[in-house]
Amino acid sequence: MTSHPPQEYFTEERCHILELHNTAVDPDVSLARARVEPGVTTKWHAVTATVERYVIIQGTGIAEIGDRAAVTLQVGDHLLIPAGHQQRIHNPGDSDLIFHCICTPRFEWENYQSLEA
């Protein structure tokens, strides 16, 4: 349990992250709130050894995973991203796209791979 509220931070991926639960004490899962500004597409990336699940809580997103066709996500939709798969998400709207990202096992930056120069 933490004694201070988490702080949102901006990543090189072009996404704001608020870590809600990510600790070595509970290595099986992490939970973050991600926020993508209007008109922004996150960079192509992959997360090795980690399965991600997005749950859209505000706005609309267009997600791309590997060679699959892009999928449009709206509030209440969820998306499973297998470990190691190339991915990105675009916010086509005029307000923030906000989603929860649930990772198993927990997200660790050492598993993040940028796939753009």
CA angle 105, 106, 109 (to 5 degrees): 120
DSSP-assigned letters across all residues of 13-34: TS-EEEEEE--TTSTT-EEEEE
Q: What is the mean predicted confidence (pLDDT) over 74-85?
A: 98
Q: What whole-number distance in Å separates Cα of residue 49 and Cα of residue 104?
A: 9
Q: What is the mean predicted confidence (pLDDT) over 41-53?
A: 98
Exposed / middle / buried, residue 33 (Cβ in 10 Å: 0-12, 13-18, 19+): middle
Q: What whole-number distance in Å separates Cα of residue 106 and Cα of residue 24?
A: 8
**pLDDT greater than 60 at residue 1:** no
Q: What is the mean predicted confidence (pLDDT) over 81-101?
A: 98
**pLDDT greater than 80 at residue 5:** no
Cα-Cα-Cα-Cα torsion 93, 59, 34, 7, nearest 10 degrees, comes to 100
CATH number for region 9-107:
2.60.120.10
What's residue 76's pLDDT?
A: 98
Distance of CA 76 to the CA centre of its chain: 15
**pLDDT greater than 80 at residue 87:** yes
Instruction: Please give the share of the chain, as a percent, with pLDDT higher than 90.
Output: 94
Q: What is the mean predicted confidence (pLDDT) over 85-107?
A: 98
**pLDDT greater than 80 at residue 61:** yes
What's residue 2's pLDDT?
A: 54
Q: Where does the pLDDT of residue 72 fall: very low under 50, low under 70, confident under 90, or very high at 90 and above?
A: very high
